[in-house]
Amino acid sequence: MPKNASAQPTAAVTVFRLAALFTFLAVAMGAVVCATGSGASCPTWPGCRPDQITPQWQLNPMIEFVHRVVAMSAGPLVLAAAVMSRRLAGPNRWVRILPLVALAGALAAGAFGRLTVLSSLPTWLSGVDLFSSLTAMTVMGVAAVMVGVPASDFRVRLAQWHSGQVRSLSAMSLGVVVAMHVTGIFVAAPMSYTRCMGWPIWQLIDTDFHPWLQVVRLGLAALGAALVISTVVVAVRQEPLRRWGIVLAMLFGAEMLLGLVIHAGGISAGVAAAYSVLAVALLSCLGLLTTVAWAASVDSGAASGQPAPSRREPVEPTRR
């Protein structure tokens, strides 16, 4: 896209992208902490133990401590993005709103994480904690894509928000997959891997709770899988989105493959961590693809000299 006077400053774009990266890493590392059972390795907060800030050179305490460092770094970056969004010249209103939403989600997740270490959280608050983290990650990623778009194009892009199969399919996939992950909190028994990020392994777990809700979660997983596959099929047929479709297909395929491994042979800490990180990456990719598809549809319209129409007008027959 050509540069113009309305393009946002490089510093703002950099801060937005760093905030998006660190929120993603915070969620991914949180998933690793859950999958490896590292949460209890540092029983105090913010330091690892009462008599030491940093942990000893052991794997689980290091995983938990790195997660804390990344999460604490994400907060100031999201705050900086929220502050800078107020100073941008003529930005899209979503560029102003989304960093604030991400900041609220990051603060909530940080507060809940501290409570989890120092005491414990009831199930419903754990669900709110996960939803807050996923919301912060997704909307900050979306904002990082949007802030790089010249302000003069925002109105045109918003006018086309409701068009595009990829955009609709990826947005629906995103909503279904988030619901699937959050319901995992409510069916998981204490210390069950089900409470961590990851897709169901296509069976009911006897040691978990609420078989009826497990069935609902399996239904959400099946619907989410169908939507993700449909998104990939449509995306790879469009040149601007082909790479995104391929990346999404690779993430989804790897997630399903590891799910089959877990289903057939049980689960280890390494496999569980990989399964959870892939789930986080897949979710993040869906959010980014939704925004990129929105931008690509406008770019193709701009290349033809005018934006694509939001609806079709009837054509009058020519009379002689």
Whether 101 and 117 have beta carbons less than 8 Å apart is answered as no
Half-sphere exposure of 283 (CA within 13 A, CB side): 34
Segments in the chain forming alpha helices (H): 10-36, 59-85, 93-118, 123-146, 154-159, 165-187, 211-235, 242-265, 269-303
Q: What pLDDT score does 297 carry? A: 54
Residue of 83, 105, 104 lying closest to 15 (CA atoms)? 83
Res 271: pLDDT:
93
Mind listing the pLDDT tens digit for each residue in 283-314?
Answer: 999 999 988 887 655 444 444 444 444 444 44
Q: Are 286 and 170 in contact (CB under 8 A)?
A: yes
Residues forming a β-bridge with 49: 52
Give the integer Cα–Cα distance in Å for 114 and 128.
14
- 88: three-class secondary structure by DSSP: coil
Beta bridge partners of 52: 49
CA-closest candidate to residue 161, choices 9, 314, 40, 301: 301
pLDDT tens track, the chain, 320 positions: 444 434 556 888 999 999 999 999 999 999 999 999 888 888 888 888 888 888 888 899 999 999 999 999 999 999 999 999 888 766 677 888 999 999 999 999 988 888 887 777 888 999 999 999 999 999 999 999 888 765 444 444 444 433 478 888 999 999 999 999 999 999 999 889 999 999 998 889 999 999 999 999 999 999 999 999 999 999 998 887 889 999 999 999 999 999 999 988 888 889 999 999 999 999 999 999 988 887 655 444 444 444 444 444 444 444 44
Distance CA 116, CA 136 (A): 19
Please name the amino acid found at residue 182.
V
Q: Supply φ then ψ for residue 49, to 5 degrees.
A: -140, 165
Q: Which residues does 40 contact at the CB level (< 8 Å), separation at least 6?
A: none
CA angle 45, 99, 65 (to 5 degrees): 20
Half-sphere exposure of 230 (CA within 13 A, CB side): 16
Rounded CA-CA distance 255/174 in Å is 16
Instruction: Summarize pLDDT for 109-134 with one digit per residue, the tens.
Output: 988 888 887 777 888 999 999 999 99
Cα–Cα distance for residue pair 113/29, rounded to 1 Å: 13
Coil/strand/helix, residue 49: strand
Compute and round to an integer the Cα radius of gyration of the chain.
Answer: 21
Tallying the residues shown for the chain, one arrives at 320
Report helix, strand or coil for 207.
Answer: coil
Q: How far apart are the first and last CA of the chain?
A: 44
Give the torsion sign (CA, 182, 186, 191, 194): negative
Cα–Cα dist 140/229, whole Å = 25
Of residues 281, 222, 214, 209, the one with CA closest to residue 252 = 281
Q: Angle, nearest 10°, between helix axes 59-85 and 10-36? A: 150
